[in-house]
């Protein structure tokens, strides 16, 4: 029977939004599988967006898409690229600027690292150096040729979100960069604008992004955009407890193919890593339940990882 909800705009959408910086590794593929399961198991559309405002490696995007399809994931509609949506981000930035909510920042990364955190701000927050610059000081910076980033003039220091796996999470909000010094809209702004514009109201991604989520939700609220439902899922780590990286052995589908492991086999191992039998994504849909998901990272050893992944 065809589920009438699928494909309907009313039901909303989930998404996967890779940065095309190289081949997807098993951690990325597992997060993509989870995002797909969360969306598809709730009758949502599943959208694919390429976050290509920075960290672009030529040729990475088609390989990423081919790998996602090879493990059995599909998506609705055309692939969307952030680099093709600059006007949308600029309009949002203009809106905040018109509302008096932005200021130019001339600080270099180094200066920010060297200055103390704002007196009442959260650790690591932008200290607000350029927040109160006089027009004369700004003019001097401009005359010196320093490129200005545009920052949000935040009026909160923290903001609470609700996450399906982490519950209520309160995190820092600071004068986040909206437009980088090179004129390109910043990731935190673009992601918020896109999710709303694409009707995405379910965001499933790695839990390394949880700390920046309150900033994004705060930005969404300032732009009067709906705040999505979040699920930040555990990462895949190497034996040293660090986030999986290329140097950790056979971490991509191409590496696994060399070891004789087909994409189907990798997909089955990913299912096992989530506590399910070694089945395909489509078969997983029947049994998928977010509440039963492992809350701990999946730790992989080198090369033998798939052979040693224990299946229930």
Residues 1/180, Cβ–Cβ less than 8 Å? no
Select 54 or 76, whichever has its Cβ closest to ligand GLU: 54
CB of 17 vs ligand GLU, minimal distance in Å: 4
Binding site for ligand GLU (CB under 6 A): 17-19, 51, 191, 205, 209
| Residues counted in the chain | 312
Q: Which of 26, 24, 35, 67 shows the shortest CA–CA distance to 305?
A: 26
Alpha helices in the chain (DSSP H): 26-40, 60-70, 86-98, 109-114, 135-143, 187-197, 213-222, 253-258, 263-273, 281-284, 305-308
Select 18 or 72, whichever has its Cβ closest to ligand GLU: 18
Count CB-CB contacts under 10 A for residue 275: 13
**Looking at 246, 258, 285, 307, which residue is catalytic?**
246
Select 121 or 297, whichever has its Cβ closest to ligand GLU: 297
Spatial distance between the Cα atoms of 198 and 200, rounded to a whole number of angstroms: 5
Select 194 or 248, whichever has its Cβ closest to ligand GLU: 194
Select 19 or 102, whichever has its Cβ closest to ligand GLU: 19
Indicate the residue whose CB is closest to ligand GLU: 51
Instruction: Tally DSSP H helices, then E strands, for the chain.
Output: 11, 12
Residues 35/263, Cβ–Cβ less than 8 Å? no
Residues 157/121, Cβ–Cβ less than 8 Å? yes
Token pair in block for residue 279: 């089945």
Is 246 a known active-site residue?
A: yes
Spatial distance between the Cα atoms of 51 and 54, rounded to a whole number of angstroms: 8
Catalytic residues: 246
């Amino acid at each position: 029977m065809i589920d009438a909800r699928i494909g309907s705009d009313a039901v909303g959408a989930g998404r996967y939004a890779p940065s095309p910086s190289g081949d997807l590794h098993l951690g990325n593929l597992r997060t993509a599988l989870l995002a797909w399961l969360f969306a598809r198991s709730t009758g949502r559309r599943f959208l694919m967006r390429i976050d290509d405002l920075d960290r672009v490696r030529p040729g990475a995007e088609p390989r990423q898409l081919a790998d996602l399809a090879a493990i059995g994931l599909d998506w609705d509609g055309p692939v969307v690229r952030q680099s093709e949506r600059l006007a949308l981000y600029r309009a949002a930035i203009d809106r905040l600027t018109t509302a008096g909510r932005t200021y130019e920042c001339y600080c270099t990364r180094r200066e920010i690292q060297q200055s103390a955190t704002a007196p009442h701000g959260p650790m690591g927050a932008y200290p607000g150096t350029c927040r109160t610059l006089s027009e004369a000081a700004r003019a001097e910076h401009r005359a010196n040729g320093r490129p200005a980033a545009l920052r949000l003039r935040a009026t909160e220091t923290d903001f609470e979100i609700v996450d399906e796996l982490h519950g209520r999470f309160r995190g820092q909000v600071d004068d986040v960069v909206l437009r980088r010094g090179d004129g390109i809209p910043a990731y935190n702004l673009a992601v918020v604008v896109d999710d709303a514009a694409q009707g995405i109201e379910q965001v499933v991604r790695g839990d390394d992004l949880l700390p920046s989520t309150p900033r994004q939700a705060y930005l969404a609220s300032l732009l009067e955009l709906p705040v999505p439902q979040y699920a930040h899922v555990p990462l895949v780590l190497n034996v040293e407890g660090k986030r999986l990286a290329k140097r950790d052995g056979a971490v991509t589908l191409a590496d696994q193919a060399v070891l004789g492991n087909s994409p189907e086999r990798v997909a089955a191992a990913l299912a096992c890593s989530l506590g399910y039998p070694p089945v395909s994504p489509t078969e997983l849909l029947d049994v998928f339940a977010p509440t039963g998901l492992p809350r701990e990272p999946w730790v992989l050893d080198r090369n033998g990882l798939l052979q040693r992944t224990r299946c229930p």
